[in-house]
Amino acid sequence: MEIVPHMVGQLVRERILSKIGFVDAHTEGEPTRIIVDGGPDIGDGPLPERVARFAKFADDFRRCVILEPRGWDAVVGALLCEPTDPTCAAGVIFFNNAGYLGMCGHGAVGVAVALHYLGKIGLGQNRLETPVGIIEIDLHNPNQASIQNVPSYRLHRSVPIEVDGLGTVVGDVAWGGNWFFLIGESPVDLILDNVDALMDASGRVRDALRRNGITGANGAEIDHIEFFGPPHAADADSRNFVYCPGGQYDRSPCGTGTSAKLACLAADGKLQPGEQWIQESIIGSRFTANYVRIDEHNIVPTIVGHAFICSEGNLIRQPLDPFISGIRC
């Protein structure tokens, strides 16, 4: 067939354009971009192996979805994939502007709400497979879900570190699906106007952890920093600020961060199994949480939050676009 000029646009659309189908949601203010179509071929097998292939062979996909001009730094991506466990509604790999996340609590609530919006799951009990384990979801209504997170625990209590400009700071190291350094008393008031100062302080803490070789289990980087302070709402228990890898902050109270907090409270005997904890975020949104104890060190936290669909559509990648893989990193 001879290709005449008016056919070129058509061919480009049909054969060369690559489309990525997405649904955007926010959970208590924190955005999640759920990839429903057009994801990279990262094979099958255990999810941690698929994450390794994603990072090695398809990292440009992550950058395209998250970075400008198609995305923005605060958004967390969620690639839906086939689960290895047939009892799960889906497998999900979370990623952000810096790399890949083991788990993401706000993201899991967003994925559950999006799967229901797409007609792929019903209300009630569902399961999701993540690279760090299976999580149980209870979708209470189209915009509210409980997630039963992976087992969470405190690794180290009251670790002192010297932080540039802040002096000695004391925090706990805990796992809630990601690694956290939790500081009981925020060095800066937890109000939205102070976000720049909070980002600066948390970045300094992260640098000090790196400098001093303080890590999670097996040398894992502690890539989330959490400050706590008094809540603003009379019925909440605490307010937090959560610094995420990639120099962003969580608009929600952070599901994995709240899980890590519960692990510390449980280890200190300050919160009993089944007792409710209301964690307020820096923007005033909240997760309601509780836990069951599974052994001397581990708890299983349940986090309840709301998510809302914001948009859906296709990201388009035109082959000649110099920013097809995003701007930066």
User: Could you tell me the smallest distance in angstroms from the CB atom of residue 244 to ligand PYC?
Assistant: 5
Contact 91, 80 (CB under 8 A): yes
Whole-number minimum distance, CB 122 to ligand PYC, in Å? 24
Site residues for ligand PYC, 122-151, by CB under 6 A, read none
Catalytic status, residue 329: no
Of 71 and 255, the one with the shorter C-beta distance to ligand PYC is 255
**Residue that is written with structure tokens 């997760």 in the block:** 287
> Residue 136, Cβ neighbours under 10 Å: how many?
16
Residue 190 CA, chain-centre distance (Å), reads 21
Report 168-207 residues binding ligand PYC (CB under 6 A): 178
64, 244, 254, 264: the active-site residue: 254
Only one of the segments 97-105, 186-194, 228-236, 288-296 lies at the binding site for ligand PYC (rule: CB under 6 A); that segment is 97-105
By CB under 6 A, what part of segment 246-265 binds ligand PYC?
A: 250, 252, 254-256
Half-sphere exposure of 44 (CA within 13 A, CB side): 5
Which lies closer to ligand PYC via its Cβ, residue 33 or residue 317? 33
- DSSP per-residue letters across 112-131: HHHHHHTTSS-SEEEEEEET
Question: For residue 152, what is the DSSP state?
Answer: B
Closest Cα partner for 152 from 130, 173, 126, 137?
173
Nearer to ligand PYC, 92 or 317 (CB): 92
Total site size for ligand PYC, rule CB under 6 A: 13
Please, are residues 161 and 214 in contact by the beta-carbon 8 Å criterion? Answer: yes
User: Smallest gap, in angstroms, from Cβ of residue 106 to ligand PYC?
Assistant: 3
Active-site entry in 88, 104, 244, 264: 104
Report the nearest approach of ligand PYC to the CB of residue 107 (Å).
6
H or E segment and range at residue 190: none
SS3 assignment, position 181: strand
Residue 104 annotated as catalytic:
yes
Q: Is 76 in the site for ligand PYC (CB under 6 A)?
A: yes
Contact with ligand PYC (CB under 6 A) among 105, 110, 171, 301: 105
Q: Residue 289 is inside which H or E element, if any?
A: strand 286-293
Please name the residues in contact with 100: beta carbons below 8 A apart, sequence gap of 6 or more: 51, 54, 55, 62, 93, 94, 131
Considering only 104, 111, 112, 169, the residue that binds ligand PYC (CB under 6 A) is 104
Cα–Cα nearest to 222, from 211, 231, 233: 211
Give residues in contact with ligand PYC (CB under 6 A). Answer: 30, 76, 101, 104-106, 178, 244, 250, 252, 254-256
Question: Annotated active-site positions, please?
Answer: 104, 254
